[in-house]
Chain A
Amino acid sequence: MQKFEYANATTIQQAVALLGNTWGEAEVLAGGTDLLALMKDYVVAPKRLVNIKDIKELKGITMTANGLRLGSLVTFEEVLDNAAIKRSYPAIWQAVAGVTSPQIRNMGTVGGDLCQRPRCWYYRAGYGILAKDENGKALVPDGDNRYHAILGNEGEAKYVNPSSLAPALISLMAKIKVAGPKGSREIAADQFFVTPKSDNEREYALAPNEIVTDILIPSASGVKTATYEVRQREVLDWPLATASVALKLDGKTVKSAKIALGHVAPVPVDSDAAAKALVGKAVTEDTAEAAGAAAVANARALSRNAYKIQLAKVAVKRAILQAAG
């Protein structure tokens, strides 16, 4: 790890003032589960680390009739232990339960989950977010791309978004509240993730001196939700494909649906096609499968990840069936 100076911010204003205007100069330390590993590997080498864990405003879970507010420092374990979230927002609870290391859950925060960097092994080995060698040659297309994107992979970015929560937040139409020197703004969850064009950009719509402060989730009263993850191992593994769904039913008929996929594209995929395939129909094995097929209709496998198309399709199908109960 390169040397850095360390600052302990106790207010949001302090934190954003201590962050610079350029990516990479300073990094935000919350749970540290991803950042410290990146720094040990010299993939990230900030001159300053701003610890935000002592900022009280970033803590706490509040649930009202209007919805759920998660402070960005809420840990995964706090969400897992929250019976009301489990009852009212199963998609969120199940996404959190998918992180099967108690140690990671005790350290990892919901804000950090959104801002963690991709797990792409080329990125982690120092080849940059777009995975190019010294001569600018893209490494993923002919390389080991078994865990890379099957959707949205036409451009240079081929990694997959690593967030566990993102699909659930998108399906529930959550907002991400962020703060910067000029104050706060809210970003719709499906607008929070972006695809960078160079290493000077990030995978999320924050400015270098902005931090995530809250996750705001509207009431899910009358909404049936679920998250389904496909993993290789039962414990401590990254999903190969995730689907989160939020359904409004009229009797047995789906009145509206929001279906989001994770770990299949550089950004979480909000699949209108899957939702359209389901709306107006009763949830059955067949209609759920058709929605899954619609979600991956435009998928394009790289040389070694065609298997992920089937996994993504099944994740959507099973999330729908799970949500409908």
Chain B
Amino acid sequence: MSKITRDGDDKPVNPEADHDSGVSRRSFLKGSGIALSVPLVTGGVRTVKAAGQDVKIHGPNKVSITLDINGKKQAATVEPRVTLLDTLRNELDTTGAKRVCDRGTCGACTVLMDGKPVYACSVLAIEAQGKKIQTVENLELNGKLSPVQQAIVDNDGQQCGFCTPGFTVACTALLNKYPDPTDEQTRLGLGGNLCRCGTYVGLREAVKQVAAQRKGGKR
């Protein structure tokens, strides 16, 4: 079995693997001063017969995809191995979802997919096509913080802030599912997100504040 390269998660075991485009990072950097754009190698789609039917095979080189991000259709050209998270951050300039563990554990990359919270690091961009993706950027309305965002500010629900976008989306999803969650529902409902600073108490209070506001109560 292949041993693991420890010197970087994104480095392919076979360094040649990334050179299929004919453009190495070095030649790209050298050339980018002269050429305005580097032609993208796409067309990585072919058709095979499977069980008597035509099935499209995408990749392994870059393929064109369309994603529905925050209500806007956005095109990107990525290899099938690229995650939704990396596509958002590196291709679509949508950096709200954070890349922290990149292994579906910490929750910093949480986005809503068809309204449900998921880890964007554990979804391939190519399989996210046709789904409605909402990131933390979409919560704000007309320059005004959403009730969840405001409540997190009010209740000191952040410290270093790195987990905050993921928690904000997770709190929003929790309150969508349970408009007035019990303490246990809140505790478990935020169980997919980690905060190393320990802002859990503030975040739980923020959820309570939003629930109370919705009931017309004041705090």
Contacts and interface: CB of A to CB of B under 8 A. Distances in A.
Nearest to B126: A6
Contact of B122 (A5, A107, A125): A107
A29 interface: yes
Contacts of B61: 3
Contact of B124 (A2, A6, A103, A104): A6
Interface residues of B, number: 55
B191 A32 contact: no
A285 interface: no
B17 interface: yes
Contacts, number: 152
Contacts of B14: 2
A77 B58 CA distance: 30
Interface in A99-123: 100-104, 106-107
A100 B104 contact: no
B122 A6 contact: no
Contacts of A7: 48, 50, 55-58
A125 B4 contact: yes
B69 interface: no
Contacts of B20: 3
A251 B186 CA distance: 39
A103 B80 contact: no
Contacts of A49: 80, 124
Contacts of A154: none
Contacts of A31: 122
B9 interface: yes
A53 B118 CA distance: 15
Contacts of A287: none
A300 to B, nearest CB: 28
Nearest to A9: B55
A40 B99 CA distance: 14
A51 B130 CA distance: 14
B116 interface: yes
B191 A36 contact: no
Nearest to A103: B192
Contacts of A6: 57-59, 80, 124, 126-127
Contacts of B118: 103, 106-107
Given A1-B81, A103-B104, A107-B123, A45 B13 contact: yes
The A interface is mostly helix, strand or loop, or mixed, namely: mixed
A37 B188 contact: no
Interface string B151-193: 0000000000000000000100110000000000001111110
A16 B55 CA distance: 12
B13 to A, nearest CB: 6
A35 B218 CA distance: 46
Contact of A235 (B1, B5, B191): B191
B192 A101 contact: yes
A103 B97 CA distance: 14
Interface in A1-35: 1-9, 11, 13-14, 16-18, 29, 31-33
15 contacts: A1-B10, A2-B14, A6-B126, A7-B58, A8-B55, A8-B56, A29-B127, A33-B104, A36-B121, A36-B124, A40-B9, A43-B4, A51-B127, A126-B2, A128-B1
Which are the 4 A-B pairs with shortest beta-carbon distances? A235-B191, A101-B192, A13-B51, A6-B80
Interface of B: 1-5, 9-10, 12-14, 17, 20, 48, 50-53, 55-61, 79-81, 83, 102-105, 107, 110, 113, 116-119, 121-124, 126-127, 170, 173-174, 187-192, 194
Interface of A: 1-9, 11, 13-14, 16-18, 29, 31-33, 36-37, 39-43, 45, 48-49, 51, 53, 77, 100-104, 106-107, 125-126, 128, 199, 234-236
Given A126-B4, A236-B105, 12 more contacts: A8-B58, A9-B50, A32-B124, A33-B122, A42-B4, A49-B80, A102-B116, A102-B189, A106-B117, A199-B1, A235-B188, A236-B192
